[in-house]
Amino acid sequence: MPTPIIMPKFGQMTEESAIVEWLKKEGDTVAKGDILFTVETDKSVMEVESFEAGTLLKIVVPPRVIVPVQSVVGFLGKPGEAIPGAAAPAVASVTEGEKVGRAVPCPPRRAPSARPDSQDQRITEPVPVTPPLPPPVAAAPALFRISPRAAALARRSGIDPAPIHGSGPLGRVIERDVKQYLEAQGVLPSDAGQIPLSAAQRDLAEKPIVMSKMRQIIAERLTQSFRDTPHFYVTVSADLTGLMAYRNELKAAGAPYTITDFISQSVILSLLEFPIVNSSTDGQSTRWHAQVNLGLAVTIPGGLVVPVIHNAGALTLKEISAASRRLAEKARAGKLTPDEMAGGTFTISNMGMLNVENFAAIINPGEGGILAVASALPQPVVRGGQVAIGQIMKMTLSADHRLIDGAQGAQFLNAVKARLEDLELWKRLAPR
């Protein structure tokens, strides 16, 4: 009998997802390991693969329709096999031990057409089950194909990509097509005091536009955190004059550490010294974490993601630097896996590259604090009774007052400051 294809569950907090596009059409032959469709999760666009060979008999859920996880989205089987009813999006019943569209780590593919980054994705493993027969629904509309990058550009530009003619395979709309469409629209003359908008943007002006799944999840989680978590804030200024000069020496010697690397190492060492800041609470009990899982906020088009360096306390400065670069690159490419964004115990939000003097961040749900790092700016400082110009960077700790007292937050933050200003420490951890 046909095998149902199930919408996988990406991450513990994911309850529903939407298919961005089907990469196979009804009647296509599907090989084991082929990508069936892409899914927009709260943080990225993921590829869903098949663990079975067969024919795509039926597409039940078309693109852009949000359905609960574990819903039946299609059927795979042998040509001519009867599909049980006109399947509609329905939540499949899954008991422990069943493998109904579970999201599992993707093993290396053996097929010649395998993609090199398949281990970074998630897959659906459809196996034969007998789901409840869903009620009939109308046939799915014609398939509209658009790449994730093109879809993201269309959302940022405030346009509906449906009218765009695709030049990609099977008529797929790619990023170049969206750019050419925007150029063809031109920019309308700007009225006095009004923002210049393209014709498509002007049509959408002042009209409510449904936020992307990513923005909806960001809004939901941060609203919950700010509403339910009693934040308090502590700010200190660190003199990075010596550290920045030493960092330039390291860079000239071929060791391109970033200031974020030094901040991360300082935070990790301070969290090991003050484990209460690395813990979390639900208001009734405290959860002490056995290791430091450091989150680093990364801005991407349309939102923000927080990849996590797991067990960061066991890593050297060089390993922390390499892990940060790798995760940031995957984040900007939209290739982070759910595991790489889960399990954080403390987060750093660094806007040092944006020329800001100071800011405060909202604590990520499930954590006890977050460190907001501003820019290192030239300011007058007093050294030995003399006024000099130093590179001063402000840091603000947002802490959960149910868990951390003001004195503990101040002690932790001053420990981070002291380590950043300890040049001998960095000469030991990152020798030239």
CA distance 253 to 260: 19
- The H or E element that residue 144 is part of is none
What's the angle, vertex CA 169, arms to CA 175 and CA 18, rounded to 5?
Answer: 65
Question: In sequence order, what DSSP letters do the residues of 343-410 get, joined into one string?
Answer: --SEEEEE-GGG--S----PPPTT-SEEEEEEEEEEEEEEETTEEEEEEEEEEEEEEETTT--HHHHH
Q: How far apart are the first and last CA of the chain?
A: 66
DSSP 340: G
Sign of CA dihedral 166, 21, 162, 200: negative
- Give burial (CB, 10 Å; 0-12/13-18/19+) of 157: middle
Read out DSSP for 49-114?
E-SS-EEEEEE-S-TT-EEETTBEEEEEESTTPPPSSS----BPP--TT--SS-EEEPPPP-STT-
Catalytic residue list contains 401: yes
Query: In the β-sheet with 386-400, what is the strand arrangement from edge to edge?
Result: 231-239, 386-400, 369-383, 346-350, 294-296, 308-309
CB 221 within 8 A of CB 370: no
**How would you classify the pairing of strands 72-77 and 3-6?**
antiparallel
**CA–CA gap between residue 372 and residue 398 (Å, rounded):** 8
Contact 267, 348 (CB under 8 A): yes
Q: Which residues are catalytic?
A: 401
